[in-house]
Chains A and B, each alone.
Chain A
Amino acid sequence: MMKRDIILAGVGGQGIISIASIIGYAALEQGMFLKQSEVHGMSQRGGDVMSNLRISHHEIASDLIPFGQADMIISIEPLEALRYLPYLSAQGWVITNIRPFNNIPNYPEIDQVLGEITRLPHHIALDADATAKEAGSTKAANIVILGAAAPFLGMAYHKLEDAIRFIFRTKGDKIIDLNLNALKAGCDFTEKHM
């Protein structure tokens, strides 16, 4: 029996909802329960966005993850990863992109931001944009991050591959392969650095 409480973080338009859909599809295919709460409306337009994703073999009560109880924070942007630390449990992991999305005038020094991340006891930090580019397109940075989180999700890796094939089924084989490569590259990084 397993459960995972996941905070997904990023900036509007970076693709956290796609990550949620892929994990969600994979979870449902395994007969798991799922609750996912997301932000619409005012918070888009380049603002911070976050989503609570809970998957479990048991029925799930709350749509919101309690503070201090998230198993992981998956973030496509380093500053956004830090914003949700109050949710993280003591054993929880932060899996984040290190490439900043700088659309505010007072974005802090990136070295300091990364310093805060590397100070965390359980973290995976990678340049998902560069990795995604190697895999074929920077647009797949979110899938690289998903791949980096894959070893922590408690589900077989091929379930995520199946979910990607399903979610991108209308986009053609090229896009599917690109995303499968991105997933693999993210996963490889984590397995090397864990």
Chain B
Amino acid sequence: MQRLLLLGDEAIAQAALDAGLSGIYAYPGTPSTEITEFVQNSKFASENNIHSSWSANEKTAMESALGMSYAGKRTMVCMKHVGLNVAADPFINSAITGANGGMIVVSADDPSMHSSQNEQDSRFYGKFALVPILEPCDQQEAYDMVHYGFDFSEKFKVPVLMRITTRMAHSRSGVIRKPDIRKQNELKMPSDLRQFVLLPAIAKKRYKNLLGNHSVFITESEASPFNRYIDGPDKSKGIIVCGIAFNYLLENFEDRKVPNPVLKIGQYPLPRNLVEKMADECDEILVIEDGYPIIEELLKGLLGRGLKVKGRLDGTLPRDGELNPNILAVALGKADTFGLPVPELVVGRPPSLCSGCPHIDSYYALTETLSDLSNGRVFSDIGCYTLGALKPYEAINSCVDMGASITMAKGAADAGLIPSVAVIGDSTFTHSGMTGLLDAINDKSPITVMILDNGTTAMTGGQESPAFGKLEDICRGLGVEEAHIRVLKPLKKYHDENVAIIKEELAYPGVSVIIPRRECIVAIDKRIRAKFKNK
């Protein structure tokens, strides 16, 4: 059988295509982006009319997916972990409405924050919403779980959450595809047309239905091929291990044979009978989770009396950060290994704005304009331009969540910090900045919003920006005065001119929008290469 070499993300996308996907919805976010890109680049997907264009944000993506599920088709919605915060409202409620066509929500967590603001664990959301969770340990399992997840979702009429991590998403391994490609579902309305109407009277019934299904989900977990009890002779310690951490555990033993009983978890809610079996036959339980200590906390309970449970909470494993084979070696009482220390002269090489990046010129102009004022007035956002926080620019004072630049600037202006400045990218603006701008306009807040328009979603690799060509119209439509929508060309030769314009708008006691517009230089490079290739 031929093995395909696939990233975890790609294995998930390939599986979705093989399992009868009709549409994928997403906003780009590392490490989840490649799932949707794989479908976008698939000839099979375009030939079969499978929807794959980007959504404006994760909430619109989740809702579109729910609509596709309502219409009876199989759908997948993908995001990075913090994207699930944005989509939390439809996600939690989709558990109450339930699904019609199979619906899988993929959330990619980022333990150790390789490219994120936090390392929140999406399994909390699954537990919160009371939906089943799938967590693959390798690329093959990721592939297999998608098929299983769609079937599960349709059988029990519930969305299924699939939780992966950066390492899972961006690690490549051989995957064997299923021999048959499943056809897409026909359009098929929900059997009860009031299923999705969450008026209290109906929602109460739907919620009871969901609660009633919980014990069924547990029974399913107990029989799941992804939850395995692997017996071992040494009962002094049992090991519960989730997702990719399973591989780090096996790495520590010759021929991958662990002497202790191991319960490998790949599906939640937890398989109660298997956990019980381990608690009965082992003196203590080590819980290994590449994320928050969710299972550990559950087993320990509030007081920690009874079961002897070890993991992240008692210091057997570090409380935060991504796991690896060495961390597990120490937790298992085995000898750690280490090569040579890094020589002292080795310095960091942090990512930086590309040479020629338009943001550089925007920041130099803004910083000069603000130089007469006290420091700390620039609220920024999520994107390449967040690198403006680092040397040599040190031009921004915040980066919190998508869209927060505008609303934080407004709040600071409300508090009396005038002028306050927001710096936000074009696609971040249409993701979550527009509503905040409306708040500022309605209050006539004295803020200056710079929408850095490089024409692409650059940070995640240059995806199409939903804002493209629409920024002035959106600002006008929301109510920004025509005279205070200013478009600049961020180039060194216009520096003085740009400084003068920013100065004028900072002085205006209402909402101004400045749009420095110049294409991302990486995007230009890509465009020219593509043109050259097509010739």
A-side interface residues toward B, CB under 8 Å?
11-12, 24-25, 28, 33-48, 59-64, 66-70, 79-80, 82-83, 85-90, 92, 103-109, 112-113, 116, 120
Contact = CB atoms under 8 A, between A and B. Distances in A.
B524 interface: no
B173 A39 contact: no
Interface string B12-56: 000000000000000000110110000000000000000000000
B248 A85 contact: no
A28 B3 contact: yes
A40 B337 contact: no
A39 B30 CA distance: 10
Nearest to B248: A62
Interface stretch (B194-202, B342-350, B403-411, B414-422): B342-350
Contacts of B340: 85-86, 88, 120
B327 to A, nearest CB: 10
B351 A24 contact: no
Contacts of A28: 3, 5, 174
Looking at B247, B460, B461, the one whose CB has the most chain A CB atoms below 10 A away is B247
B114 A37 contact: no
Contact of B352 (A45, A87, A112): A45
B248 A64 contact: yes
A45 B354 contact: yes
A66 B325 CA distance: 6
A116 B341 CA distance: 11
Contacts of A63: 167-168, 171, 173, 244, 247
A36 B172 contact: yes
B353 A45 contact: yes
B170 interface: yes
A69 B349 contact: no
Nearest to A113: B345
B114 A39 contact: yes
23 contacts: A28-B3, A28-B174, A33-B173, A34-B172, A38-B171, A40-B34, A41-B114, A42-B114, A42-B115, A45-B351, A45-B352, A46-B351, A47-B351, A61-B249, A61-B256, A67-B336, A79-B347, A79-B349, A86-B341, A104-B347, A104-B350, A105-B392, A108-B347
Interface string B157-175: 0000000000110111110
Contacts of A60: 173
A113 B384 CA distance: 30
Contact of A88 (B339, B345, B346, B348): B339
A35 B256 contact: no
Most B Cβ at <10 Å: residue of A69, A107, A120:
A69
B342 A85 contact: yes
B343 A85 contact: yes
B343 A62 contact: no
B523 interface: no
Given A28-B3, A62-B247, A92-B339, 20 more contacts: A11-B349, A24-B5, A40-B33, A40-B115, A43-B114, A43-B351, A45-B353, A46-B352, A46-B354, A47-B351, A48-B348, A60-B173, A61-B247, A61-B251, A62-B325, A79-B349, A82-B345, A86-B339, A87-B339, A104-B349
Nearest to A112: B345
A40 B30 contact: yes
Nearest to A63: B171
Interface size for chain B: under 10, 10 to 19, 20 to 34, or 35 or more residues? 35 or more
B76 interface: no
B326 interface: yes
Contacts of A40: 30-31, 33-34, 115, 170, 461
A48 B349 contact: yes
The secondary-structure label for the interface of chain B is loop
Contact of B460 (A41, A79, A120): A41
A68 B247 contact: no
B338 A86 contact: yes
Contacts of B460: 41
A64 B114 contact: no
A47 B338 contact: no
A103 B352 contact: yes
B167 A64 contact: yes
A104 B390 CA distance: 12
A35 B337 contact: no
Contacts of B115: 40-43
B329 interface: yes
A39 to B, nearest CB: 7
Given A38-B170, A41-B459, A12 B351 contact: yes
A76 B223 CA distance: 49
A69 B342 CA distance: 15
A64 B325 contact: yes
A159 to B, nearest CB: 16
Contacts of A25: 5
B250 interface: yes
Given A62-B248, A66-B329, A106 B347 contact: yes
Contacts of A44: 351
B324 interface: yes
A90 B340 CA distance: 8
Given A45-B354, A87-B339, A103-B352, A37 B347 contact: no
B387 interface: yes
Contact of B346 (A47, A108, A109): A108
Interface string B172-209: 11100000000000000000000000000000000000
A120 B336 CA distance: 22
B339 A35 contact: no
Nearest to A35: B173
For A36, A60, A61, A82, which residue has the most chain B Cβ atoms within 10 angstroms? A61
Contacts of A61: 247-251, 256
A96 to B, nearest CB: 13
Contact of A34 (B174, B250, B354, B387): B174
Given A38-B171, A112-B345, A62 B250 contact: yes
Interface in B98-136: 114-115
A71 B224 CA distance: 38
9 tightest Cβ-Cβ pairs between the two chains A and B: A41-B30, A68-B337, A42-B115, A47-B351, A62-B251, A45-B351, A61-B250, A41-B115, A88-B339
A83 B342 contact: yes
Interface in B306-351: 324-326, 329, 336-343, 345-351
Interface in B242-288: 244, 247-251, 256
Nearest to B349: A48
